[in-house]
Amino acid sequence: MKAPFATLSTLCLGTSLATAALSFTGSPVNQTFTGFDGNSAPLGWDAFGFSSGSGFSENRGLSTGGVSTGGTYAFDLGGSNIALGVQPIASDFTPGYYELEITNNSASTLNGIILSFDGYFLNDQDRSNSLSLSTSTDGSSFTPVSGATFTSPSDQDSSGWTLGLSHSSTVAAIVPVGGSFFLRFTGDDVGGAGSRDEFAIDNVTFSAIPEPSTPLLCGLTLCAFTRRRR
């Protein structure tokens, strides 16, 4: 129920905790978080599962990691490579999620999505946590993406930021023009004890499976429009 909440908060508070959706116009989207400073929501992203409330409500700014205060960070993974990051604590992100909404503003229905992301962890504490990707076309019913989960080790080490998973897959989703596609990255406790490791998401890409030469399902209006563009 993201859109109604954003609308309500805009009306009541004069500000929106969630940001507008990212726009897909036909060219691949690649979100690298360059310029993200950890003080407000990146474009298209929402957050849930923080003790201070929905939206990006616990923004901790820029850090290279090794923090202890729960909340959202712009983590510098090294060499000024910024990622969307989180320090989970008992009351934050256990469980919780970050969610990216992408609206299809291209001229065609999307008949399948190609997506990828890189997930990192900083194993500086003795608990084990996970991060998992699921997707949706309505923002309420989510389906886990096969192979898109990774877990940090329980026993801490000094390895620093570690690539937990570099994932890419195709998702059989149909997104009409004006419709949205949602990527939800959910975190939770897995094992171990004590404080929690840090996590970061980077290089989130989104593109459409190229259209077949003869669309199997399309109305006359869409077919005519599609032909005009070619």
Residue 167 tokens, joined: 């994932």
Grouping H, G, I as helix, E, B as strand and the rest as coil, residue 229 is: helix
- For the stretch 63-72, contacts whose Cβ atoms lie closer than 8 Å and that sit 24 or more positions apart, written own/partner, are 63/38, 65/122, 65/124, 65/160, 65/161, 65/198, 66/122, 66/124, 66/198, 67/198, 68/195, 72/38, 72/47
Binding mask 45-64 for Ca ion (x = CB under 5 A): --------------------
Q: Is 120 in the site for Ca ion (CB under 5 A)?
A: no
- Residue 105: how many other CB atoms lie within 10 Å: 14
Residue 22 tokens, joined: 């990212």
Binding mask 155-194 for Ca ion (x = CB under 5 A): ----------------------------------------
Three-state SS string over 72-133 comes to EEEEECCCCCEEEEEECECCECCCEEEEEEEEECCCCCEEEEEEEEEEEEECCCCEEEEEEE
- Binding piece for Ca ion, criterion CB under 5 A, among 93-101, 108-116, 174-182, 202-210: 202-210
- From 202, 204, 206, 207, residue interacting with Ca ion (rule: CB under 5 A): 202
Q: Is 123 in the site for Ca ion (CB under 5 A)?
A: yes
Tell me whether residue 9 or residue 81 sits nearer to Ca ion (CB atom). 81
Q: Is 151 in the site for Ca ion (CB under 5 A)?
A: no
| Nearest distance in Å: CB 65, Ca ion | 7
Q: Is 205 in the site for Ca ion (CB under 5 A)?
A: no
| Nearest distance in Å: CB 50, Ca ion | 16
- From 197, 199, 207, 208, residue interacting with Ca ion (rule: CB under 5 A): 197
Could you tell me how many residues of this chain bind Ca ion (CB under 5 A)? 8
Phi–psi pair at 220, nearest 5 degrees: -60, -40
Exposure of 180 in the CB half-sphere (CA atoms within 13 A): 22
Contacts of 1 (CB under 8 A, 6+ apart): 139, 140
Tell me whether residue 103 or residue 123 sits nearer to Ca ion (CB atom). 123
- Binding piece for Ca ion, criterion CB under 5 A, among 18-26, 94-102, 116-124, 161-169: 116-124
Q: Is 32 in the site for Ca ion (CB under 5 A)?
A: yes
Q: What residues make contact with Ca ion under the rule CB under 5 A?
A: 32-33, 81-83, 123, 197, 202
